Chains A and B, each alone.
Chain A
């Protein structure tokens, strides 16, 4: 089974993010980067499928030089090889352009299943996975928490979270799914895995190799401004005897917070 995982390298979720003075980006100096946590579920699921039915897991990522480290981390988890979409011309790629570039490289490959994280935790666009499926013209299921491969390996049955319940979908392969927390417990990029990953191939692919024009790389989305989330204000403690305090709490929820 040929499995492709699309992965994005994102700032460490624990990092303190500072907005650049022009308000259109973030300060990247001194920032540490990790594999997007939702993409880790995608990698893990791909590895489990491979362990079950054999095949190959290819990790594809678009990003600057530092992205090789994130690809290498996926290889250390057990993926077989990596493809790094790397070109100065890609640096301003928005989710739209990213999806098109991924479609361009993937359409030249053999694949049965594509896994993505349900979103990247940096820009939270939730765009690339679904758009990629559209460009490739294959069925998709987003935000999945369970995946089962059919006996004949020609289709998958997935469960996805929907408001107030779950939805079960059946998709013929090739298909694309995006992974939600709960799909699995991702393994670590073990130390022997890190050693083995050194010898695995990461192929760099640039704009020329993909044959894309400068026009195709133009952003479709323009960032107008970024601003930090408002600082959380301190919580309110409702004092007094429980019976009285609950009354007061209900009043506050109704009148002040307008939550009831």
Chain B
């Protein structure tokens, strides 16, 4: 076992940290307020390869795999969750379905421009009646000649209103349910019959675009079916393994930022004539934050190496998602407690991190669903 970062990995961290310090963090409060990530920032991220870090070089990316991706997510999450999630939804669940199951033609046509950031991606699974029960989707795909006609709608789709390519999951045979009845489609958003509905107002990650998507008699040629007809659900679940791992990395980065700010504040803020850091209870909070971050970091990168070795990591990714996002919430709460009134005011970033972190326990499978995944795997195996 070798836990040493490679030279490239250190360089990736250095580069994304610099990008975050110079380009992202200064805009974070405004992104939250204006509820929008500037196009110029997404373009700059694309120019520097942030839109395709995990995608192989042959398909327009940099080929740094999941370890590289997690380092990037971690560093971006020090600055702005809205922006980090925009990049994550694009790459980890927007590009990944094509990388996993796309044909060579599909990869060249869609994945290359996506990895290069010319086209932004999104992942459309959730429906009004199908959240955690993703198998219950009602959007239909009816075979018709050389393609499919799709009708229905999706909700809460990250990047939905700004994406150029949407990976859409629709029921080709509702009776069959998730096993055999759901197919994945590559949908350019300029396809006739595609439209964007409500853009949601949210508690946190307000700069991230969350949209309703509507499909009316939308024709998709057979060449844009992703993987085999009826095997879309498996593609969605495999994709979410990556998404959940990335969320763990995002939670880790945000947690480190909270600890960093908390240490600075505890050293600088004086009460009763001495710094807060002299108070034992504050030291205990910092110690607990540090210990949890160490565990989070360990599990994120151990799981990322499993992914890069091509091993199955569904159970591990569920564990990462559940624990990291749960602990992120705990850590950001303690950071606010340490900052007191200052943390509650909007001129400090703490309250924004507090609002931004909450969604992580909910999306890409609630943490309750992660428990189901973990338990199912454990019961199947009969031991750890």
Contacts and interface: CB of A to CB of B under 8 A. Distances in A.
A190 B11 contact: no
Given A188-B48, A190-B49, A195-B57, 12 more contacts: A34-B14, A69-B10, A73-B11, A188-B18, A191-B52, A191-B53, A191-B62, A194-B8, A194-B15, A195-B63, A195-B64, A197-B11
Interface residues on B, range: 20 to 34
Contacts of B53: 191
B218 interface: no
A102 B47 CA distance: 34
Contacts of A197: 11
B15 A188 contact: yes
B14 A191 contact: no
A190 B63 contact: no
A240 interface: no
A68 interface: yes
Given A190-B49, A191-B48, A195-B64, A72 B15 contact: no
A66 to B, nearest CB: 9
B19 interface: yes
Contacts of A136: none
Contacts of A191: 12, 15, 48-50, 52-53, 62, 64, 68, 72
A190 B47 contact: yes
Interface of B: 7-8, 10-12, 14-15, 18-19, 47-50, 52-53, 57, 61-64, 68, 72
Nearest to B21: A14
A191 B11 CA distance: 9
Contacts of B57: 192, 195
* Secondary structure of the B contact surface, majority rule: helix
7 contacts: A188-B48, A190-B15, A191-B15, A191-B52, A191-B53, A194-B15, A195-B62
Interface string A53-72: 00000000000000011001
Nearest to A69: B7
A72 B7 contact: yes
Contacts of B64: 191, 194-195
B7 A189 contact: no
A193 B49 contact: yes
A39 to B, nearest CB: 15
Contact of A188 (B8, B19, B52, B63): B19
Given A34-B14, A73-B14, A192 B49 contact: yes
Contacts of B12: 191, 194
A198 interface: yes
A156 interface: no
Contacts of A69: 7, 10-11
- Chain A CB within 10 Å, residue with most, of B11, B61, B63: B11
B48 A190 contact: yes
B71 to A, nearest CB: 10
Given A69-B7, A72-B11, A194 B62 contact: yes
A97 to B, nearest CB: 27
Contacts of B18: 188
B62 A192 contact: yes
A160 to B, nearest CB: 26
